[in-house]
């Protein structure tokens, strides 16, 4: 059943650029980038039980890595941008995670928030490298060595870049699927459910939390790198704490107890935000209300509502 | 000698919960710790399992100082425990819980991309323990949906799945009906034989069980060892009978 749904959804996404207006196809680009980001965030949130309010830091790392590579260093290959983002994300996450995972609950959340703030300020103040509050340009990357500079921007985005993003998302999803079904993934869930008992079974909670944090940061950085090229610009708001809040919102909205929940949440968030913003200027008000409703009436998110008929599956997801 | 505590003192603030406790456990022994509520039994278990660092004294496991080294390293050294207040993973099924223990024992937790469901060694290890503990027909029930007695059993079973050399059980049969307590004890004894667990230390209130299964009994009272010896000796000890065994004395003498 769920395989069928997944197959249909993938099919629709594959043919979408041929059927849908360019406007909606373009909206799919941030969706796919955020889908990668929240897949990673949920390893930490849904599977390890830690809520980070600072993951926009790693989105910023990825986005600015792409910008610096294309504008300052003359590197235009998207593959290199993604690899460099992943590597830099891991490099910065390693010490940040080592500090944060020693704390839990609100203290963990506040520490991640603090690191996010520090990085945001860095982006604002180190004008020469980052362009300050104006941000930086991201030049159009080459895809698999193909220089696509000659075609109009929209054609580039709804064509090659769209399928490239989709390929990255599918790959990221498959890798994450393996991770959560691995012995490692099981250890993360023991820690989420009961750290005391996990330790009694010889599972080192600090080590596993650290690993989950670093993996989630790599996902955020890769997704962040994908966010830049469609707009051609990155700015510090990518690393601002409200952005961290947005991805937590997506995860809650879709449902953190289900593997695909956060991806659904990212999709609904992006398209709803677009719709609401077109109608009223104060979309945050509407979104605040939605978030409150989700937390109160559907704590397992949209996926929880869909899957309610099969409680056993939810428990095992 | 596998485990030895010497002159252990444990303070909670000003309150002295353990006041110079010395105990030892030999390989192959089944030792019961008895004592009235608040005697310090759980505190002693926590000190012996490295969960609490004692304020004074030493704890040695296989000739190695383990005071306060923490549960993770102790599990690797071959010591496991279960808790007085039952500890399970609410959203994990019985078999997942046991798989987690087997994964930990085999050191496979670092396998980030391996497919757990296809690891037959882990699955069979988990199912074997589930069967030994009579939990096989509930293998796919999430722990939170188990009745209280089965939760307790799962807590114990997952500790057994680590194949420790010594296991410390804090009231393994609490919350289990008297009739089932014996069944649980039979499971513990046969499972430890089967899995090669050499020594068992348990905290237990049911004197029938204590006298029926123990090689040696340690009676604690107000943070001190009141008596330490084989069942016959403890039974003949008036101090113990008065402070610990109390009114139940008649019952166990009849039973024994
Ligand atoms: N964390 C703690 N902080 C303060 N006092 C404690 C703590 N844990 C136990 N105690 C006290 O220490 C004494 C021994 O407790 P415990 O070892 O749990 O006894 P038992 O398991 O024999 O019933 C009790 O008086 C208890 O109130
Ligand atoms: Mg106790």
Residue B254: pLDDT band (50, 70, 90) is very low
* Residue-wise pLDDT tens digits, A5-59: 989 999 999 999 999 999 999 999 999 999 999 999 999 999 999 999 999 999 9
Going by alpha carbons, the residue nearest to atom 5 of ligand 1 is B12
Both tokens assigned to B254? 């009849």
Contact B152, A215 (CB under 8 A): no
* Residue-wise pLDDT tens digits, B68-80: 788 999 999 999 9
Whether residue A269 has pLDDT greater than 80: yes
Residue A104: pLDDT band (50, 70, 90) is confident
What's the pLDDT score for residue A1? Answer: 59
Residue of B nearest to A175 (CA): B113
Residue B255: pLDDT band (50, 70, 90) is very low
* Angle at CA of residue A98, ends A170 and A193, nearest 5°: 65
Beta bridge partners of A78: none
> Which atom of ligand 1 is nearest to B41's Cα?
22
Mean pLDDT score, B178-184: 86
Mean pLDDT score, A165-194: 97
Whether residue A160 has pLDDT greater than 90: yes
A257 closest CA partner among A316, A312, A198, A217 = A316
Contact B186, B166 (CB under 8 A): no
Interface A:B, Cβ pairs < 8 A:
108
As for ligand 1, residues whose beta carbon falls within 6 Å of it are B 12, 15, 17, 35, 37-43
Both tokens assigned to B165? 């050399």
Residues of chain B with CATH 3.40.50.300: 1-78+197-256
Residue A308, helix vs strand vs coil: coil
In a domain, A200, yes or no: yes
In a domain, A267, yes or no: no
CA of B18 to the centre of ligand 2 (A): 13
Judged by a CB distance cut-off of 8 A, whether residue A310 touches chain B is no
As a whole number of Å, the end-to-end CA separation of chain B is 29
Q: What percent of chain B has pLDDT over 90?
A: 80
Number of domains in chain A: 1
Whether residue A316 has pLDDT greater than 60: no
B113 backbone dihedrals φ, ψ, rounded to 5°: -110, 5
The CATH number of the domain covering residues in B1-78+197-256 = 3.40.50.300
* Mean model confidence pLDDT for chain A: 92
* Residue-wise pLDDT tens digits, B132-148: 999 999 999 999 999 98
A183 to chain B: which residues are within 8 Å by CB? 99, 103, 108-109, 111, 114, 116, 119, 122
User: CA dihedral defined by A208, A210, A216, A217, rounded to 10 degrees?
Assistant: -170
R_g of chain A computed on alpha carbons: 19
Residue B174: pLDDT band (50, 70, 90) is confident
Print the domain residue range for A128. 23-240
* Residue-wise pLDDT tens digits, A77-95: 999 999 999 999 999 999 9
What's the pLDDT score for residue A86? Answer: 98
Going by alpha carbons, the residue nearest to atom 18 of ligand 1 is B42
d(CA B217, CA A78): 70
Whether residue A314 has pLDDT greater than 60: no
B92 to chain A: which residues are within 8 Å by CB? 186, 189-190, 193
> Which atom of ligand 1 is nearest to B36's Cα?
22
Burial of B44 (0-12, 13-18, 19+ CB in 10 A): buried
Question: What distance lies between CA B190 and its chain's CA centroid?
Answer: 15
Residue with tokens 């930490």: A44
* Alpha-carbon distances, residue A118 vs A92, A95, A239, B177, B206 (angstroms): 13, 14, 10, 57, 59
In a domain, A287, yes or no: no
* Mean model confidence pLDDT for chain B: 91
Judged by a CB distance cut-off of 8 A, whether residue A190 touches chain B is yes
Helices (H), ranges, A46-160: 56-71, 78-100, 105-125, 127-130, 153-156
Both tokens assigned to B79? 């010591």
**ipTM of the predicted structure?**
0.91
In a domain, A316, yes or no: no
Helix or strand (DSSP H, E) at A52? none
Mean pLDDT score, A263-290: 90
Q: What percent of chain A has pLDDT over 70?
A: 97
d(CA A111, CA A217): 15
* Residue-wise pLDDT tens digits, B12-50: 999 999 999 999 999 999 999 999 999 999 999 999 998
Residue in B70, B90, B103 closest to A186 by CB: B103
Going by alpha carbons, the residue nearest to atom 17 of ligand 1 is B40
d(CA B242, CA A255): 58
| Weakest mean pLDDT among A172-176, B39-43, B205-209 | B205-209
Residue B122: pLDDT band (50, 70, 90) is very high
Ligand number nearest to the C-alpha of B10: 1
């Amino acid at each position: 059943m769920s395989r069928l749904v997944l197959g249909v959804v993938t099919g629709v996404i594959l043919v979408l650029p041929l059927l849908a207006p360019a406007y909606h196809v373009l909206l799919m680009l941030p969706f796919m980038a955020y889908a990668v980001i929240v897949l990673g965030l949920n390893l930490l949130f849904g599977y390890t039980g830690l809520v980070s309010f600072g993951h926009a830091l790693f989105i910023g790392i990825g986005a600015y890595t792409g910008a610096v590579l294309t504008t300052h260093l003359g590197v235009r290959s998207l593959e290199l941008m993604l690899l460099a983002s992943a590597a830099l994300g891991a490099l910065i996450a390693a010490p940040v995670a080592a500090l944060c995972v020693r704390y839990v609950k609100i203290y963990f959340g506040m520490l991640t928030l603090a690191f996010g703030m520090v990085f945001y300020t860095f982006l604002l103040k180190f004008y020469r490298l980052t362009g300050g509050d104006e941000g930086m340009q991201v030049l159009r990357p080459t895809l698999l060595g193909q220089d696509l500079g000659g075609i109009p921007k929209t054609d580039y985005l709804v064509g090659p870049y769209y399928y490239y993003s989709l390929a990255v998302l599918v790959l990221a999803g498959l890798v994450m699927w393996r991770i959560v079904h691995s012995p490692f993934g099981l250890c993360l869930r023991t820690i989420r459910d009961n750290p005391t008992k996990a330790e009694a079974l010889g599972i080192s909670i600090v080590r596993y939390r650290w690993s989950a944090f670093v993996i989630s940061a790599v996902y955020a950085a890769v997704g962040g790198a994908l966010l830049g090229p469609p707009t051609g610009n990155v700015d510090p708001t990518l690393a601002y704490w409200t952005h961290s809040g947005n991805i937590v919102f997506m995860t809650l909205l879709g449902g953190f107890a289900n593997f695909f929940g956060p991806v659904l949440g990212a999709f609904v968030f992006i398209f709803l935000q677009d719709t609401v913003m077109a109608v009223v200027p104060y979309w945050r008000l509407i979104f605040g209300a939605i978030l409150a409703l989700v937390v109160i009436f559907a704590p397992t998110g949209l996926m929880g509502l869909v899957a309610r008929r099969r409680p056993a599956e939810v428990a095992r997801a | 000698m596998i485990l030895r505590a010497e002159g252990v003192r444990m303070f909670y603030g000003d309150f002295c919960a353990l006041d110079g406790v010395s105990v030892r456990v030999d390989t192959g022994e089944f030792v019961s710790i008895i004592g009235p509520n608040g005697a310090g039994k759980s505190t002693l278990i926590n000190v012996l399992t490295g969960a609490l660092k004692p304020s004074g004294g030493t704890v040695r496991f296989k000739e190695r100082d383990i005071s306060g080294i923490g549960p993770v390293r102790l599990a690797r050294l071959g010591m496991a425990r279960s808790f007085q207040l039952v500890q399970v993973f609410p959203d994990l099924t019985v078999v997942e819980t046991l798989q987690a223990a087997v994964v930990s024992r085999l050191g496979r937790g670092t396998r980030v991309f391996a497919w757990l469901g296809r690891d037959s060694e882990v699955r069979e290890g988990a199912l074997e323990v589930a069967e030994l503990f009579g939990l096989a027909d509930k293998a796919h029930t999430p722990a939170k949906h188990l009745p209280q007695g089965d939760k307790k059993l799962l807590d114990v079973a997952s500790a057994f799945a680590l194949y420790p050399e010594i296991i410390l059980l804090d009231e393994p049969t609490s919350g289990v009906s008297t009739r089932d307590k014996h069944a649980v004890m039979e499971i513990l004894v046969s499972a430890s034989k089967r899995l090669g667990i050499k020594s068992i230390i348990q905290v237990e209130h049911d004197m029938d069980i204590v006298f029926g299964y123990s090689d040696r009994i340690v009676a604690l009272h107000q943070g001190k060892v009141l008596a330490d010896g084989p069942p016959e000796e403890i039974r003949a000890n008036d101090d113990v009978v008065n402070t610990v065994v109390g009114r139940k004395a008649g019952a166990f003498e009849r039973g024994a």
